Amino acid sequence: MIEPAFFYDTLVQYGTDFFTGVPDSLLKSFCAYITDHTEGHRHIIPANEGAAVALACGYHLATGKIPLVYMQNSGIGNAVNPLLSLADPEVYHIPLLLLIGWRGEPGTTDEPQHFKQGKVTGALLEAMGIPAVILGDTKAAVSRQLASIYHELAQTKAPYALIVRKDTFASYTLHKTEASPGGMSREEAIEEILRSSDPETLFFSTTGMTSRELYELRDRCRMGHERDFLTLGSMGHASQIALAVALHQPKRLVTCLDGDGAALMHLGALAIIGTQKQVPNFRHILLNNGAHDSVGGQPTVALQIDLLAIARACGYKGVYSASTRDALRAWVEAKQEGPTFIEVRVRKGARKDLGRPRSSPEENKQALMAVLKERNKGTNERI
């Protein structure tokens, strides 16, 4: 294993002193070390991976130095456009060091949403003309790799990728943490939402802990899973999936359980929801703990901005906040015309024994579609 301190110090010796990216579970120890040992203006956790590439390019323009951009391999999709139309040697010729966590590596055990990403990670980088190597697991190997990579970066002035396997980095625990903003845990908030909602409500949950907690709460409350869509991947897109269903299932109440990191990743989704006046049946509940909870607890900026004001400005008909069970119950049970937005301040963290869904994504989809199809029989709903 590689000690995060050794890797960080080696990068700094080569002049890399600006770090930006979206946290990943395979990189969480290194990301935590960056957070603890880098000045705020030299480490920015942006809304998405494309923004990270743009920030890194701006830093290179300002300083001439080589920045580091970190991400999970699922984030390559968000980064493709600026990598090809900004940093590429056929455009602006900007050298970037990419550090990419390899979820779904063939031959390893992982979650369904990572399988395809893992298979095509190398092919995607090759198609973009970005050279890539797998990060070594010894100091000697890493030292040789970085010497070679920085030499090439100086020559090509183009992006270069380091692929990181599971357990490459030794454990490091984040020391810089902020107090949790809410009294409820996320799981307690989801339970209150479930118990206070009409049993026919459809739920669309964001990726990560939220979907896992929703699944286990359904079991604990002896409820079925057929009215839930667990957005296992596609971070930031759960609200748009839910919006489309609400538009075409106007007789059903549709609720999106969103996270702050996911919402920030594609914040423009709020503008689209708010301007859709044909969705009185849409409810957007954002569970805000100010952290990327599923990948190490790195902070987001969600507690530093006014999400309620943003939702109002985007056109949501009702905008509310809750930090207690009673307040949350009141807003959930209220009969209001949507689209509505409820921000729930919750604590960081999750149960250590939290399980994962036992059903496959295909089974989840088919069960939900069966419910929707049954409801549509004999109606004039927009389908």
Does 147 share its domain with 235? no
> What's the farthest any 2 CA atoms get from each other in the chain?
69
Is there a domain that residue 382 lies in?
A: no
- Statement: residue 287 has pLDDT above 50: yes
Is there a domain that residue 318 lies in?
A: yes
Is there a domain that residue 180 lies in?
A: no
Q: How many domains does the chain have?
A: 2
Tell me which residue range forms the domain holding 307: 186-376
* DSSP H or E run through 153: helix 139-156
How sure is the predictor about 376, in pLDDT bands with cuts at 50, 70 and 90?
Answer: low
pTM of the predicted protein model: 0.92
Is there a domain that residue 324 lies in?
A: yes
- Statement: residue 170 has pLDDT above 60: yes
Does 199 share its domain with 125? no
CA distance 159 to 79: 12
Does 264 share its domain with 355? yes
Does 234 share its domain with 105? no
Does 150 share its domain with 258? no
How sure is the predictor about 382, in pLDDT bands with cuts at 50, 70 and 90?
Answer: very low
Out of 100-109, 196-205, 244-253, 371-380, least confident range: 371-380
Does 198 share its domain with 150? no
What mean pLDDT value characterizes the chain?
A: 94
C-beta of residue 285 within 8 angstroms of C-beta of residue 193: yes
Mean pLDDT of 323-345: 94
Q: Which residues contact 375 (CB under 8 A, 6 or more apart)?
A: 249, 251, 252, 381
Does 209 share its domain with 143? no
The pLDDT assigned to 286 comes to 98
CA distance 140 to 203: 50
How sure is the predictor about 375, in pLDDT bands with cuts at 50, 70 and 90?
Answer: low
Q: Which residues contact 343 (CB under 8 A, 6 or more apart)?
A: 286, 288, 307, 308, 311, 320, 321, 322
How sure is the predictor about 381, in pLDDT bands with cuts at 50, 70 and 90?
Answer: very low
Does 192 share its domain with 158? no
The pLDDT assigned to 294 comes to 79
Mean pLDDT of 291-316: 92
- Statement: residue 113 has pLDDT above 70: yes
% of the chain beyond a pLDDT of 90: 85
Torsion, CA 214, CA 215, CA 220, CA 222, rounded to 10: 110
Phi, psi of 336 (to 5 degrees): -135, 150
Last residue of one domain, picked from the residues 114, 129, 164? 164
How sure is the predictor about 377, in pLDDT bands with cuts at 50, 70 and 90?
Answer: low
C-beta of residue 202 within 8 angstroms of C-beta of residue 254: yes
Is there a domain that residue 172 lies in?
A: no
Mean pLDDT of 273-302: 92
% of the chain beyond a pLDDT of 70: 97
Is there a domain that residue 61 lies in?
A: yes
Does 102 share its domain with 239? no
Is there a domain that residue 169 lies in?
A: no
Give burial (CB, 10 Å; 0-12/13-18/19+) of 97: buried
The pLDDT assigned to 378 comes to 44
Last residue of one domain, picked from the residues 164, 199, 232? 164
Per-residue pLDDT reduced to its tens digit, 117-157: 999 999 999 999 999 999 999 999 999 999 999 999 999 99
Give the CATH number of the domain where residue 55 resides: 3.40.50.970
- Coil, strand or helix at 180: coil
Mean pLDDT of 109-119: 92
Does 156 share its domain with 193? no
Per-residue pLDDT reduced to its tens digit, 26-72: 999 999 999 999 988 999 999 999 999 999 999 999 999 999 999 99
| Tokens 């907690």 sit on residue | 213
Out of 83-92, 146-155, 189-198, 368-377, least confident range: 368-377
Mean pLDDT of 237-242: 98
Does 219 share its domain with 354? yes
Per-residue pLDDT reduced to its tens digit, 356-374: 999 999 999 999 999 999 8
Does 118 share its domain with 227? no
The pLDDT assigned to 171 comes to 96
Is there a domain that residue 325 lies in?
A: yes
The pLDDT assigned to 26 comes to 96
